[in-house]
Structure 1
Amino acid sequence: PAPVTAAAAATAPAPKPAGADKLVVSFAQGGATLTPQAEAQLDTAARTYRDGHPLMMYVAGYTDKQGSELANLMLAARRAEAVKAGLIARGIPADRLEATALGDANPVVPTADDTPEPANRRVVITWK
């Protein structure tokens, strides 16, 4: 194979985070406040945006199965908006972000209703 020139390397898109096609931001039970670990994930997402220039980033908020369906959708929306606001604060244009709330749909760990499950309290960031 031909050697990669410095000019070619400078114009090549940066790779995604090692093996990642998504980033997951976790939340405390009932909360939508970004933790230091969540802030670090947003830093990684912002680097991914700057380095890879994806057309869009999608922010999907989820909850565990504690609480009513409406309360979970509202909490998922607050979580998604907190992540979106954090990404905007890191320089990602708002028109390149799409946030949605999915409540207790698509659990990472399936549970019965009213069962707390930390892995299900999350926002998933994907891009294309």
Structure 2
Amino acid sequence: MLKQSLAPLVIAGCLVSPAHAQDAPSPAPTAASSAAPAPLVILFDTASNKVQANSLAVLDKASRAYSEGKPIVMIITASSDRVGNAALNLRLSQQRATAVLNGLLERGIPADRFQLLAKGQTELPIPTQPGVSEARNRAVEITWR
């Protein structure tokens, strides 16, 4: 079962923030934040929102990158492939983003350091036709700013 997050959430371009998000102080930029780590990607099985055991090392790497560089915001962007219903795939991408968020929260990163973006079938890393299963589109990308 996924934990409920307190981080801001962007769903298909619409920002949805918890009530406390506007009260969170904005951190001052640091020299470390100007050199953001390379993006990290976690792939998911078809129709799954479970972070697989072989992806836990990616969560550990993201946690280390945060601890070493203290980026201002970690951006978690989730997508799905183009198999099935678009609305269900949007929901699935939200669940994938939340699963990655929960893994990073468990590693001690504060909730106010995240932005979630669930894209469903839109703006896919690998453009495909409807109905095409593409593993690289069943992904969550972690970036920093």
The two structures share one fold, judged by TM-score above 0.5: yes
- Aligned equivalent of 2:103, options 82, 86, 91: 86
Aligned twin of 2:3:
none
What are the Cα deviations for residues 68-92 of structure 1, in whole angstroms up to 9, with x where unaligned?
1100100000000000000000010
Deviating beyond 2 angstroms after TM superposition, the runs of 4 or more aligned structure 1 residues are: 12-17
- Aligned equivalent of 1:108, options 125, 140, 144: 125
Aligned twin of 1:60:
77
Over the matched positions of the two proteins, sequence identity in percent amounts to: 39
Q: Which has the larger radius of gyration?
A: 1
1:37 deviates by 2.3
TM-score (norm. length: structure 1): 0.83
- 1:50 equivalent to 2:67? Answer yes
- Aligned equivalent of 2:137, options 120, 123, 126: 120
1:13 deviates by 4.5
Count of residue correspondences:
114
Superposed CA RMSD? 1.7
Letter in 2 for 1:127: W
1:67 deviates by 1.0
Give the Cα separation in 2 of the matches to 1:111 and 1:13: 37
Consecutive unaligned residues of structure 1, counting only runs of 5 or more, are 1-11
- Are 2:32 and 2:71, in contact at CA under 8 Å, matched by a contact in 1? no
- Report SS of the residue matched to 1:47: helix
TM-score (norm. length: structure 2): 0.74
